[in-house]
Each structure stands twice: as C-alpha cells, then as structure tokens.
Amino acid sequence: LQFTEEKLGQAEKTELDAHFENLLARADCTKNWTEKILRQTEVLLQPNPSARVEEFLYEKLDRKVPSRVTNGELLAQYMTEAANDFGPGTPYGKTLIKVGETQRLLGAAEREFIHSASLNFLTPLRNFLEGDWRTISKERRILQNRRLDLDACKARLKKAKAAEAKAAVT
C-alpha cells in the first residue's frame, strides 16, 4: 500500500542518504558494464554461438567441457595430411609441413589463451555477478522493504496525531 501510494504521489517517501544513493548507482553501473564485458569477451573467445551454449550447459551441469580442436590446429592437421599425400620430400610438401607446424603452435597458443582468459578474467566477473551482486540485490530489497515499513508507520503516526488533534478541538 505504501509503495503504491508513493508511486501515485499520495504518500511521503523517506529519501536515502545522497552518498548511499551514489553507491547504489555505482553498483548498478558496475553490474551493467560487467555483464556487457563478460558477454562480449565470451563472444570474442568463442565466436560460435552453439559452442558457447554447449560450454554453458557443461558448466551448469558441473561437467568438464570436452577439449575442442581450434581452427589453427585443424588447419595444421590438414596441411600435414596434405604434405604426406604430396610427399614430404617435395618442395610443396616441405612447405606444408613447416607451415602446418607453425599453425599447430598458433592453435596451441590460442587454446592456452582461451583457457587462461576464461580462468583469470571471466571467472572473477562471473563470481561478482553470481555472488556479490546477488547479495547487493538482496540487501537492497530488504532495505527497500524496511524503508516502506518506516514510511507506513510514519503515515499512521501522522494520521493518529491529526485525529487526536481533531478530537481535542471538538
């Protein structure tokens, strides 16, 4: 009732401290930017949406995500197979073997980068959103309910004093 009356402009609302309001605004801003950065980093690390969904499901089910071959590693594999078909002694075969080995190293570096970024960058962001932010939201709701209770009590007290003053006059 108090919340509805406040929204309709029929009841007074106790304002929170300006510093506290600033902290709440900063917390909201932090949450929004953290979510955006988290999503975009996931897109950067794994551009394939279906693979991201698969990884998300494995993570939620507390299962190990199966190791996936990177595009560089796959290209290296194809180059090595092609070099074997052409013959490792031919100039084209030698070139494919060298480039394939380099691609394999690049693919392994990419895999390590993805793992490191996920572990050292994305995990803390997720921990904030799933832990700290939930706590902040819960405490904010509790504070809002307490404020509404306080305002409702103030309104009842004001009405009681007005009724008492009116009864004293008559």
Structural tokens at position 107: 């693919």
The one-letter amino acid at 106 = L
End-to-end CA distance of the chain: 31
For the chain, which residues make up each domain, given as ranges? 25-147
Structural tokens at position 33: 């930017």
Structural contact between residues 92 and 86, judged by C-beta atoms closer than 8 angstroms: yes
Assigned CATH topology for domain 25-147? Substrate Binding Domain Of Dnak; Chain:A; Domain 2 (1.20.1270)
Ranges in the chain, pLDDT < 50: none
Reported pTM: 0.73
> What's the pLDDT score for residue 8?
66
